[in-house]
Amino acid sequence: MITAERKPFDEIIELVGDKKKVLVAGCDTCVAICLTGGEKEAEILASELRIKAEQDGREVEVEHTAAIRQCEWEYLDMIAEKVEAADVVLSLACGIGIQSLAEKFAPKLVMPAVNTNMLGMPQEHAVWLERCVACGECRIGLTGAICPVVRCSKSLMNGPCGGSHDGLCEVTGPDKEEIECAWALIWERLKAQGREELMFTERPPKNWSKSSSGGPRKMVREEAKPV
Amino acid sequence: MADTEVKAADAAVAAPEEPPKKPVDPGFEPEIIVFACHYCAYAAADLAGSMRLQYPSNIRMIKLPCTGKLEVIHLLRAIEAGADGVYAAGCMEGECHYLKGNLWARKRVDHVKHLLAELGIEPERVEMYNMSSAMGAKFAEVATEFTERIKQLGPNPVRRDGVSPHAAAREALGGVAMPDEAESAAAATVQEGHAE
């Protein structure tokens, strides 16, 4: 799922500025599952903003709401009234949701209250690990369903580098935690599947033009378009 | 200039920069909300009463089936409505009737402390305590100690005239808050299966 982290409170305050009517808009899909931007979290942020305004002696009206999905026009209709009434909307959705909301109600002032950080998998309750970067050409069929683009620190496509030791990467994570070497994991997985030969098979270079560096991507499914 | 004179001059310059210590207002009576677990703290309060123990009348209790039902927003709502202090009182660790409710409550209280710090409000205004139903004396002791702490801190910077923090916290909890016997003995019997 898409994961996001709430921005520091001071940054949010700066984004709201001196606006008098604030709507905190949560999204009840991905960001609700990662406990960052669902209705509950929208209510908490709204309460914090009211406390802050009260402390500063400013008259600010703060409300909260949540769309089932902020990234779809239909669901945005359901919160239209509240959005229209606000001077600024603080969205707790992922980057897609925030932009959809801003586009739907343009030129309404819409601000992000979160940093969207990854496409992650919940490893355990309240811990998410990055598993995909939406590179546009999936090659994990050749790598035992372990993605070297995201899980190898160098995104190497043809085996490990010299920094792989005892199954661990020479790079450590943000909290100095050990990172497993993706290629060691791939090797073990392929061995368990009896497909080690894939490590020695020549594979065509990956087509990076399908990734995000060539401008915004677009997907059209002609057969699914309404007639 | 002698050493002592230099020090005295330094002190005179440095003194105004120190933050002035907030004087404790002797007339300040804080309003404190207590989220009490039905299985321990609420019973301990009963016991404290039976034992004729004295504790400050500043605390207003809300009974919960377990402190695990307490969420971040419930504590925040009480602060937002002007409560000077808020604490949760759950079972001893390892003795929660629902196994881990009190451990969840502690984590949530800690998170609220973090949110308050972000807002520039003293995190000490919220706390988590553990006690068993047999600890009437501990209940009175905690109530006294916490009230004293809040008196030292002074009033919540968020003041809302005409808003009752107790009512606001109860409203935020909705059906989660259990009826208070004193409030309505009749309502307590069957509501939401919380028969006494």
| CATH code of the domain in which A63 resides | 3.40.50
Q: What would the two tokens of residue A192 be?
A: 């368990």
Residue A103 sits in the same domain as residue A28: yes
Question: What's the whole-model pTM score?
Answer: 0.87
Find the CB nearest B157 among A8, A9, A55: A55
Q: Is residue B60 part of a domain?
A: yes
The chain B residue lying nearest A43, using CA atoms, is: B73
How many domains does chain A contain in total?
Answer: 2
Mean pLDDT of chain B: 86
CB < 8 Å from A in window 65-84 of B: 71-73, 76-77, 79-80
* Ramachandran quadrant class, A221 (left: phi over 0; alpha: psi -120 to 50; beta: rest): beta
Model confidence over A104-150: pLDDT tens digits? 999 999 999 999 999 999 999 999 999 999 999 999 999 999 999 99
Q: Of A86-90, A213-217, B4-8, B40-44, where does mean pLDDT reach its minimum? A: B4-8
In angstroms, the separation between the Cα of residue A50 and the nearest Cα of chain B is 7
Determine, yes or no, domain membership for B179: no
DSSP β-bridge partners for residue A124: A127
Let me know if residue B182 belongs to a domain.
Answer: no
Q: Which of A10, A40, A55 sits opposite B158 (nearest CB)?
A: A55
Cβ of residue A50 closer than 8 Å to a chain B Cβ: yes
Q: Which residue of A has its CA nearest to B117?
A: A9
Spatial neighbors of A143 by CB under 8 A, at least 6 apart, are A186, A189, A190, A198
Nearest by CB: B119 against A8, A43, A55 = A55
Residue of B71, B80, B159 with shortest CB distance to A50: B80
Q: Is residue A224 part of a domain?
A: no
Output the CA–CA distances (angstroms, integers) from residue A61 to A77, A88, B21, B168, in the order listed. 22, 11, 33, 17
- For the stretch B113-134, pLDDT in tens is 999 999 999 999 999 999 999 9
pLDDT, tens digit, for every residue of A32-52? 999 999 999 999 999 999 999
Interface predicted TM-score (ipTM): 0.86
- Whether residue A38 sits in one domain with residue A105: yes
Specify if B45 maps to a domain: yes
pLDDT(A156) > 90: yes
User: Which of A9, A40, A51 has its CB closest to that of B80?
Assistant: A51
Amino acid at A14: E
Which position has the higher pLDDT, B196 or B158?
B158
Q: Does residue A174 carry a pLDDT above 50?
A: yes
Count of structural domains within chain B: 1
Pairwise CB contact (< 8 Å): A47 & B77: yes
pLDDT value at residue B190:
44
Share of chain A above pLDDT 70, in %: 100
Q: Give tens-digit pLDDT for B161-178.
A: 788 999 999 888 888 888
Does B103 score more than 90 pLDDT?
yes
Same domain for A14 and A76, yes or no, is yes
- Is B80 in Cβ contact with A44 (below 8 Å)? no
> For residues B41 and B89, is the Cβ–Cβ distance under 8 A?
yes
Answer yes or no: is B193 within a domain: no
Dist. CA B178–CA B172, nearest whole Å: 13
- Residue A207 covered by a domain: no
Instruction: State which amino acid sits at residue B85.
Output: G
Beta carbons of A51 and B77 less than 8 Å apart: no
> Does residue B83 belong to any structural domain of this protein?
yes
- For residue B16, is pLDDT > 80? no
Provide the pLDDT for residue A201. Answer: 85
**Owning domain of residue B44:** 29-172
pLDDT at B161: 78
- Chains A, B: CB pairs < 8 Å: 38
Interface check B161 vs A, CB under 8 A? no
Residue A164 is encoded by which pair of tokens?
């792989």
B162 vs A23, more confident = A23
Does residue B10 have a pLDDT over 70?
no
The residue of chain B with its CA nearest to that of A40 is B73
In a domain, B5, yes or no: no
Run of H or E residues at A26? strand A21-27
Are the beta carbons of B78 and B32 closer than 8 angstroms?
no
Q: How far is B120 from chain A (nearest CA, A)?
A: 9
CATH number of the domain enclosing B110: 3.40.50
The reply to whether B21 falls in a domain is no
Is the pLDDT at B31 greater than 80, yes or no?
A: yes
More confident: A175 or B36 = B36
**Domain boundaries, position A95:** 2-118
How is the beta sheet containing B85-90 ordered, strand by strand? B59-64, B32-37, B85-90, B126-130
Residue A203's pLDDT band (boundaries 50, 70, 90)? confident
In a domain, A219, yes or no: no
Confidence of residue B3 (pLDDT cuts 50, 70, 90): low
Judge whether A79 lies within some domain.
yes
Question: Does residue A103 share a domain with residue A10?
Answer: yes
Q: What is the pLDDT of residues A179-189, one digit of tens each?
A: 999 999 999 99
